[in-house]
Amino acid sequence: MKTDIDRSAFEQIERELDLFDLKIQDVPIWERIRVDLFKDLREKSGLNQSRPKPKKNFVTGIKAGKLWMKNLFHKSPFQAPSAEIMFVGHPRRQLESNQTWWDIYCDPIHNQCNYDYVHFEHSYYFSHKTPAQTENLYYLDLIGVPGIIASQIHFPSVPLDKNHRHLLEETRTRIYQMYDIDVDVISYVKEELCERKTTYKLYKKLLKKINPQVVIIIVSYGRQMETLIEVCKSENIPVVELQHGIIDSDHLGYSYPEDINKHTFPDYVFTFGDFWGDNINYPIKKERVISIGYPYLEQKLEELEINTKKHQIVFISQGPVGKELSKFAVDVSEKLDDKYQIIYKLHPNEYDWWQKSYPWLKRSQMTVIDDSNRSLYSLFTESGIQVGVYSTAIYEGINFGLDTYIIDLPGSDRLDPLIETGIAKKIATPEEFIKQCRQSNNGRSFDKEYFFKSDPISNFKRELNHIVQ
């Protein structure tokens, strides 16, 4: 079994080389590249299998160019009206029963709040899902595409002095010595600085036009978003991030050494519940990490009726562990009693390539869900057991009363709080799981409020009012 990349060793390199103090062209550069660099380490180690990245070739350039050209006339960000609240949503939308594509983090708020807002969206693999549920929607391709191109061709040029180069090469050497993996740290820095140079003035122009009282985002880490946050801070516009997934001490986008403040971090983080603010060092004051709940989850819990079918097992896949998890599921399906119906729910990032990467899954007798026509929540209402590794969906599934099992694979320790409190059980082999699931009692009691605070819309309104007053 592959072992996980030691995050503590990575932090040791950061501390010993004082990387958070490194500024190039007055930009604290390390905080802006550490997430992608650490992710690259995991991918090169074989731990992270995910949707293939677009290749840097002529075809990709044509797609990007077409997207940019279209955005000149269709949903241009610079045609958006001024608004009190500016949202930058998540481009990975979800198809709902009304056959529209939802931003599940923002649309429930838009639908239940009477705000003067405008909603922006980056492309997702050079496309946008339509028809979109979101009103007042504009795309950021006129800003994003030039930034991507600039980062790929390293233009405008970014001169690095001798001291900077020496430190970055020393970082590369230390990483190689620690993990036996080579990463071109200088390229990360140049790509980041080129993209920032290209997009900074464009974001500045956009914010001057919208003139919002507050900017609400879904993901704060990553080149495009960190530059936007930097511009917001220069304009004294508060930035709020809405939680969109697991936040824990292993997530470098949120977890920082105690004495470090990230310059391009939101001013506030609205979490699903108190659990997500505990045992993690955010680079902001604790009182600015505020529990509000998860509007989409609460909406679905009210809409869906949990039925009595309890012999259905749903495996929750995700690219980084999909190969091992799918093999585990196939083994279980071949050995478990016929009375159990087994569903394998792929992550949206796996839809396009799972048949090539998981051929054993294609040959199995399991039902594989590889599109968004059947939602994960509807599967939860039909199931008695869920199995996964560290997906955020595991936390959502326990709200539907599912017995929960965590497979002992790299990253599963991120769900140790569920194991330690008895909400879930960790298993190592298909045989162990089969023995356990035959004793399933359809869910264990736990403090749902601690994980997902109730009445999220009211909480959101109250906390937002405190910020903009």
pLDDT tens digit string along 435-454? 988 776 655 667 889 999 99
- The verdict on domain 1-294+452-469 having CATH code 3.20.20.30 is no
pLDDT at 50 over 60: no
Q: How far apart are CA 141 and CA 118, in angstroms?
A: 16
The pLDDT of residue 81 is above 90: yes
Q: What is the model's pLDDT at position 7?
A: 85
The pLDDT of residue 405 is above 70: yes
At residue 425, the 3 state secondary structure works out as strand
Which residues are within 8 A (CB) of 424 and not within 5 positions of it... i.e. 6 or more apart? Answer: 394, 398, 404, 405, 406, 415, 418
Residue labelled with tokens 């790509």: 191
The answer to whether the beta carbons of residues 35 and 192 sit under 8 Å apart is: no
Secondary structure (3-state) at 254: coil
- Return the sign of the alpha-carbon dihedral for residues 92, 95, 101, 103: negative
* pLDDT the model gives residue 307: 67
Predicted confidence (pLDDT) per residue in 144-201, tens digit: 999 999 988 888 888 899 999 999 999 999 999 999 999 999 999 999 999 999 999 9
Find how far residue 303's CA is from the centre of its chain: 25
Q: Mean pLDDT lowest for which of 63-77, 127-141, 408-422?
A: 408-422
- Kindly indicate the confidence band of residue 304, based on its pLDDT and cuts at 50, 70 and 90: confident
Task: Write the pLDDT tens digit of every residue in 205-223.
Answer: 999 999 999 999 999 998 8
Q: What is the pLDDT of residue 444?
A: 62
Nearest to 314 by CA among 299, 329, 302, 324: 329
Q: Which strand (E) or helix (H) includes residue 143?
A: helix 141-153
Measured CA to CA in angstroms, residue 282 lies from 217, 251, 350, 452 at distances of: 17, 10, 30, 19
For residues 325-345, average pLDDT: 93
- The answer to whether the beta carbons of residues 456 and 293 sit under 8 Å apart is yes
- How deeply is 220 buried, as exposed, middle or buried, from its count of CB atoms within 10 A (0-12, 13-18, 19+)? buried
Greatest CA span in the chain, whole angstroms?
A: 68
Contacts of residue 270, defined as CB under 8 A and 6 or more positions apart, other chains included, come to 240, 241, 242, 243, 290, 291, 292, 460, 463
From 40-49, 224-233, 246-255, 315-324, the region with the lowest mean pLDDT:
40-49
Per domain, the residue ranges of the chain are 1-294+452-469, 300-450
Q: What Rg do the C-alpha atoms of the chain give, in angstroms? A: 22
**pLDDT above 60 (res 287):** yes
Q: What is the mean pLDDT of the chain?
A: 91
CATH superfamily to which 300-450 belongs: Glycogen Phosphorylase B; (3.40.50.2000)
CA distances from 176 to 11, 57, 163, 366 (A): 14, 28, 20, 41
- Comparing CA positions, the residue from 104, 136, 173 lying closest to residue 372 is 104
pLDDT for position 47: 63
The tens digit of pLDDT for each residue in 111-154 reads 999 999 999 999 998 999 999 999 999 999 999 999 999 988 88
Scanning the structure block, which residue is given the tokens 């955020």? Answer: 392
Per-residue pLDDT averaged across 333-349, rounded?
A: 91
- Cβ(280)–Cβ(254) under 8 Å? yes
Q: Rounded to an integer, what distance in angstroms lies between the CA atom of residue 194 and that of residue 211?
A: 26
In which band, very low, low, confident or very high, does the pLDDT at 308 lie, cut at 50, 70 and 90? low
- Rounded-to-integer distance, Cα 148 and Cα 296, Å: 31
Measured CA to CA in angstroms, residue 314 lies from 190, 328, 357, 384 at distances of: 44, 13, 20, 8
At residue 411, the pLDDT reads: 87
Q: Which residue has the tokens 């109730």?
A: 454
Residue 55, pLDDT score: 62
Q: Looking at residues 341-368, what average pLDDT do you find?
A: 93
The pLDDT value given to residue 237 = 98
Its pTM stands at: 0.93
Instruction: Read off the tokens for 297.
Output: 């989850």
